[in-house]
């Protein structure tokens, strides 16, 4: 793929994009290893900028936070994630400052870096509420979506400024634009369902595949399963839903995965047919490969009972699939150069 000459802003945007992906993977690892409350306060950990590790420090922390005794392994997981997330925030702040200082330069994006800055501040608030509201599912899901939105917008910033993809697609190929946007919306909806499944500890509600608890359509409770707000003062660690509600969330996530899989298979095939633009063909091939990888990881999560590496890889695959869809939308919206 060709692009314009890299500027310091563009190189920083690339580095920030990679960092955002790392933060998403770390966040998934923290959540899936049950370390989301490894530090009961925010932004520090037991009132410190690091984790209490000496005997007297641990004793003091346990007195101050008797409801959450120190577990150093979980606390370090959480703090490493916070360190990386804080670095990501500083990188986005730098991008916004550079964009504003270069705002009069031709081709310099300004609105998107500023929007990213607002988004990362909101992400910090969601991170705080995740801890202080004790893993409230709607906050955990929103935090996941915010991270992936940050990743997607950073990718769009890099792609649009660099004009990656070479020439614009032909007029008759631009009809895919609407379909590609629908695919992106469907994927985001499925990611939200995945986040809701994880936040409510419903990933193993159906321990068999393709059936669920030996039923094709098991007993379900839609009302309880999709109640977003249940008040404050409740710890959601380990989940609070009944079996039927968790089964409902899991089954709907599976059905959503089927719909998204079929649609994106079709979209990837149509992208491969656009053979006059190799970049579009490559994006279509990437969608194919990532889709089948995600399908394999999703099934493995069930039959292997959610092994941590597979579960984290499933989250990473969703992020990569999002990047593939963002790239396809970018390529289909390239306009001819003057």
Name residue, tokens 């990679």: 18
Give SS3 for 212. Answer: strand
CA distance 317 to 294: 6
Select which of 78, 173, 237, 273 is catalytic: 78
Please say whether the beta carbons of 180 and 16 come within 8 A.
no
CA distance 225 to 241: 7
**Per-position DSSP letters for 140-200, written without gaps between them:** HHHHHHHHHHHHHHHHHHHHHHHTTTSSPPPGGGTTHHHHHHHHHHHHHHHHHHHHHHHHT
CA distance 280 to 177: 12
Please say whether the beta carbons of 33 and 308 come within 8 A.
yes
In this structure, the dihedral spanned by the alpha carbons of residues 50, 53, 58 and 61, taken in order and rounded to 10 degrees, is: 0
| Maximum Cα–Cα distance across the chain | 71
**Which among 121, 96, 82, 135 has a CA at the least distance from the CA of 16?**
96
Name residue, tokens 């599976």: 254
Please say whether the beta carbons of 237 and 274 come within 8 A.
no
What are the distances in angstroms from CA 180 to CA 40, 169, 175, 317? 42, 14, 9, 18
237 in catalytic set: no
Per-residue tokens: 275: 């053979």
Please say whether the beta carbons of 24 and 52 come within 8 A.
no
Helices (H) and strands (E) in the chain, counts: 10, 0
Determine the straight-line distance between the first and last CA of the chain, rounded to whole angstroms: 19
* Residues annotated catalytic, as ranges: 78
């Amino acid at each position: 793929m060709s692009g314009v000459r890299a500027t310091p802003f563009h190189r920083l945007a690339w580095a920030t994009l990679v960092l955002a992906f790392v933060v998403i993977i770390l966040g998934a690892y923290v959540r899936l290893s049950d370390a989301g409350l490894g530090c009961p306060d925010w932004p520090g950990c037991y009132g410190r900028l690091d984790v209490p590790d000496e005997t007297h420090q641990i004793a003091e922390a346990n007195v101050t936070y008797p409801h959450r005794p120190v577990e150093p392994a979980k606390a370090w997981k959480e703090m490493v994630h916070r360190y990386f997330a804080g670095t990501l925030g500083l990188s986005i702040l730098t991008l916004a400052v550079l964009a504003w200082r270069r705002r009069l330069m031709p081709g310099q994006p300004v609105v998107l870096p500023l929007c990213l800055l607002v988004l990362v501040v909101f992400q910090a608030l969601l991170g705080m509420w995740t801890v202080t509201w004790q893993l409230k599912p709607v906050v955990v899901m929103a935090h996941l979506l915010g991270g992936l939105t940050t990743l997607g917008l950073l990718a769009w910033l890099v792609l649009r400024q660099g004009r990656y993809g070479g020439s614009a697609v032909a007029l008759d190929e631009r009809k895919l634009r609407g379909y590609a946007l629908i695919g992106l919306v469907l994927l985001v909806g499925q990611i939200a369902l995945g986040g809701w499944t994880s936040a409510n500890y419903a990933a193993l509600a159906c321990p068999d595949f393709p059936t669920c608890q030996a039923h094709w359509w098991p007993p379900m409770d839609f009302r309880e399963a999709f109640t977003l707000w249940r008040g404050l003062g409740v710890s959601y660690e380990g989940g609070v839903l009944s079996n039927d509600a968790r089964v409902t969330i899991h089954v709907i996530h599976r059905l959503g995965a089927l719909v998204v899989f079929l649609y994106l298979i079709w979209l990837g095939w149509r992208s491969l047919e656009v053979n006059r633009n190799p970049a579009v063909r490559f994006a279509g091939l990437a969608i194919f490969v990532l889709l089948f990888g995600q399908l394999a990881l999703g099934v493995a999560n069930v039959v292997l009972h959610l092994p941590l590496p597979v579960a984290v890889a499933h989250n990473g695959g969703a992020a990569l699939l999002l990047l593939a869809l963002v790239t396809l939308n970018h390529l289909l919206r390239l306009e001819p150069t003057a």
